[in-house]
């Protein structure tokens, strides 16, 4: 069975947690596409060459979840040649046998516009900054400023800006627990699977 779940949204909205839970619940493969961009960003050097030469070891680095890696990802993600280098990999993953869940910024709009389920997970910038601050620490005001800066860059980039697909279901997690948000996403996928 080929079945694709596309989950998009801004940083720290909960899409990664929801994606992993949906994949586990239905036995689908999971790809955090942001990890591809984080790996390219932290690899350094020429980002286009880094994207073309990405290895499984690059995706297993311990520093991919840092604020610095997130900022680096957002910067290399605006480079069209980087996006193109990673596009085919993501599309092949999405249509693999056994089902797949991909989370990122442009899965439902660019990578998998024909996905069987499209979800746009969001939350207020303040809630997302607080979540990120709990994860990485640092100065709370600075984390909020970085979240807003990243939103601005991701939503206004020329190539594949962050936005919900027209047929995506929006899920605002600002006032939801992880369990509630995950349950809503699982119910949506279960209904589509019939």
15 labeled part of a ligand binding site: yes
14 labeled part of a ligand binding site: yes
145 labeled part of a ligand binding site: no
6 labeled part of a ligand binding site: no
Beta bridge partners of 30: 101
27 labeled part of a ligand binding site: no
Beta bridge partners of 122: 172
104 labeled part of a ligand binding site: no
**What residue has token string 């594949």?**
160
CA dist 166 → 7, 32, 169, 170 (Å): 13, 22, 9, 10
Pair 59, 89: CB distance under 8 Å: no
Six-digit token string for 152: 């601005």
As a whole number of angstroms, the distance between CA 23 and CA 29 comes to 6
138 labeled part of a ligand binding site: no
The 3-state DSSP class for residue 73 equals helix
The 3-state DSSP class for residue 101 equals strand
Q: Which amino acids are annotated as binding site, given as ranges?
A: 9-17
Q: Which amino acids are annotated as binding site for ATP, given as ranges?
A: 9-17
């Amino acid at each position: 069975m080929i079945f694709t779940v596309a989950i998009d949204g801004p940083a720290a909205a909960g899409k990664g947690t929801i994606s992993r839970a949906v994949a586990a619940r239905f036995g689908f493969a999971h790809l955090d596409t942001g990890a591809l961009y984080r790996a390219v960003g932290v690899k350094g050097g020429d980002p286009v060459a880094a994207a073309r030469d990405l290895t499984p070891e690059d995706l297993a680095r311990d520093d991919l979840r840092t604020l610095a890696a997130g900022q680096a990802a957002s910067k290399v993600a605006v480079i069209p040649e980087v996006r193109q280098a990673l596009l085919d990999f993501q599309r092949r993953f999405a249509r693999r046998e056994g089902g797949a869940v991909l989370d990122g910024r442009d899965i439902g709009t660019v990578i998998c516009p024909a996905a069987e389920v499209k979800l746009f997970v969001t939350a207020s910038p303040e809630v997302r900054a607080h979540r990120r601050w709990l994860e990485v620490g640092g100065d709370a005001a600075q984390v909020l400023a970085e979240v807003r800066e990243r939103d601005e860059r991701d939503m206004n980039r020329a190539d594949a800006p962050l936005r919900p697909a027209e047929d995506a279901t929006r899920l605002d997690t600002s006032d939801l627990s992880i369990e509630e948000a995950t349950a809503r996403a699982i119910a949506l996928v279960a209904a589509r699977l019939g």
